[in-house]
Structure 1
Amino acid sequence: MIFTGSLNAQGFEGWFNKYLLPSLTRASVLIMDNAPIHRKSAISQLVEHTEHQIVFLPKYSPDLNDIEHDFSALKRKRMYASSDTSLDDIIRDYCIT
């Protein structure tokens, strides 16, 4: 299936029900992010009477994402480093410490 243009929730649910679910040959775990077109209640209803499971990821939170802490620390190190210190050196120093 080739799709051109934007997609709304109704279009996604139609594709999900007509193409994705029938193409799954064994019980599957379907993972959905929090895109606005992934309406939790509608998709849950489509999967409800199948052998598949649906898992919705939690909303993004930088506090729960370890790499965000590292990026924050690197930004602070860059801010206080001398102007001739390369970003590579800052990252190496951060990774070793």
Structure 2
Amino acid sequence: TEVFLTYVNQVLVPQLWKGAIVVMDNLKVHYAERVRLSIESVGAKVKFLPPYSPDLSPIELCWSKLKQ
């Protein structure tokens, strides 16, 4: 959680603006309250993908190509 929170605070949050939407998957660390509060501190919103939604996750297409 600490490493991801550091990334959020130092890299992600400075790039956000009021009304921005951050879409995250269901990795446990993404649900940390401190992560949400950091993102919301600049007026951005956090939205989560449904529990199993590879069709909505661009990285899944990359993984499928690598597996071939």
* Aligned-residue CA RMSD (Å): 2.3
Q: Does 1:55 align with 2:55?
A: no
Give 5+ residue unaligned stretches, structure 2.
56-68
- Residue by residue over 1:34-86, the C-alpha shift from the partner in whole angstroms, topping out at 9 and shown as x without a partner, is 1133134222111232221111223227xxx8xxxxxxxxxxxxxxxxxxxxx
CA distance in 2, matches of 1:41, 1:25: 19
Q: What is the identity percentage for the equivalent residue pairs of Structure 1 and Structure 2? A: 28
C-alpha deviation, 1:23, in angstroms: 2.1
What is the TM-score normalised by the length of structure 1? 0.45
> Where do 4+ consecutive residues of structure 1 move more than 3 Å?
none
Tell me the residue number matched to 1:13: 5
CA distance in 2 between counterparts of 1:40 and 1:56 reads 12
Structure 1: where are the runs of 5+ without partners?
1-8, 66-97
Larger relative contact order (Cα-Cα within 8 Å, sequence gap ≥ 6): 2
Number of aligned residues: 54
